[in-house]
Amino acid sequence: MFDIATTRKETTKIHPPTIIFAMLGVLSLGASVLAGYGMAGGKARSWTHLIAFAAVTAITVYVILDIEYPRLGLIRVDDADHALIQLREGMKQETR
């Protein structure tokens, strides 16, 4: 149990290198440039496509970052923490 708890605690401290986040930003910017270039040839702008593309790109980047830092955003891991706390309390009661 101690090994699992220590491994879990240490893995929450390990994050991808900064270059990965920079590449994510460059990829988003590149996709936006290519989409804008593709839409520039049209006579009329499709605001639905513009807003949908921007929203999907922003949501994708947000979800990736939120999963990477699960204690800070909307995606939470409190249930897993609660299960470990209950297990620890159960172990304390058994040793008494």
Residue 95, class by beta-carbon neighbours within 10 Å (0-12 exposed, 13-18 middle, 19+ buried)?
Answer: exposed
**Nearest by Cα to 35 from 50, 48, 23:** 50
**Distance, CA of 74 to CA of 13 (rounded, Å):** 19
Q: Which residue has the tokens 């040839």?
A: 41
| C-alpha to C-alpha distance for 83 and 58, rounded to whole angstroms | 33
The pTM for the full model equals: 0.61
- Cα separation, 83 vs 4, whole angstroms: 13
Q: 48-92 pLDDT, tens per residue?
A: 888 998 899 999 988 888 888 777 778 777 766 777 778 778 888
